Amino acid sequence: MSVLETLLNQVAENAAAARPLQVCIGVYWSLVLVEIDGKCRAGISSTLHGGTDEHHHGKRSPVADAGHLTERSVTELVALTQSDSLLEASVGFATLNALLDVPLDRCREVNAEELIVEQGAGKKVAIIGHFPFTPHVREVASETWVLELSPREGDLPAERASDLLPRADVIGLTGTSLLNHTFDDLITCCAPNAYTLILGGTTPLSTAFFDYGIDAVAGTRIVDPEAAARSISQGATFKQIQGKQLLMLVR
């Protein structure tokens, strides 16, 4: 069973009981508000769109029911995690994060940067995706490889993952690897004894990842849905999102 199937099973009961309140697809982040047992809950996800301009030309819409998503059931919204449309998948993962019952008794308020720097000192570190702490990692690691689908200066192309991940001692996977459905392939490339983290705002705070070789899960819990929705709808970057709490689960 894939990790996504496991996550969907975890939230299936909450999805059936929930009512959709709001779907916001912001420039950088997407947010979904749902109501469960009279309480408002929110989840976020990176907004990915694939970088095409097909929306100008009347081709298939990246969001099939744009303007009517809250008329769908929450079960239908969370099922969008499996969509080939990155925008629909963004909505799906924001919904999943809203539905997930986070095990707060197992969470720590630890910065992912601190952990990856601590674990990566003097070792070979591979990072999937861009994170602001990468320069700090380069200072302490013996080697640092940053793999990206759209490489910038100093990055390596994502296609080299199968070559480099087996050689890495510490691996940081972006939560957007779930969104673009590359997580399962990437995790199979990681050496069994490597210390592996999955991190970023899209990452569901679920212990299920431990069954798939992940040692630490760094994600975001929305504690003030109204503040988060307001900031995301106004183009907030991750740092600007209000009403969030950064948490980590460690095996």
**Cα(192)–Cα(236) distance, integer angstroms:** 37
Query: Of 46, 45, 41, whose CA–CA distance to 98 is shortest?
Result: 41
What pLDDT is attached to residue 243? Answer: 98
For the chain (length 251 residues), average pLDDT per consecutive 10? 96 98 97 97 92 54 86 98 96 98 94 93 94 92 92 88 96 95 95 96 97 96 97 96 97 90
The pTM (predicted TM-score) of the whole model is: 0.93
Residue 140 to residue 27: CA distance in whole angstroms: 34
φ, ψ of residue 145 in degrees (nearest 5): -115, 125
Structure tokens at 118: 């601590």
d(CA 40, CA 21): 8
Tokens 């969370």 identify what position?
Answer: 78
> How far, in Å, CA of 24 to CA of 234, rounded?
10
pLDDT for 119: 96
pLDDT at residue 52 in the model? 54
pLDDT of residue 151: 83
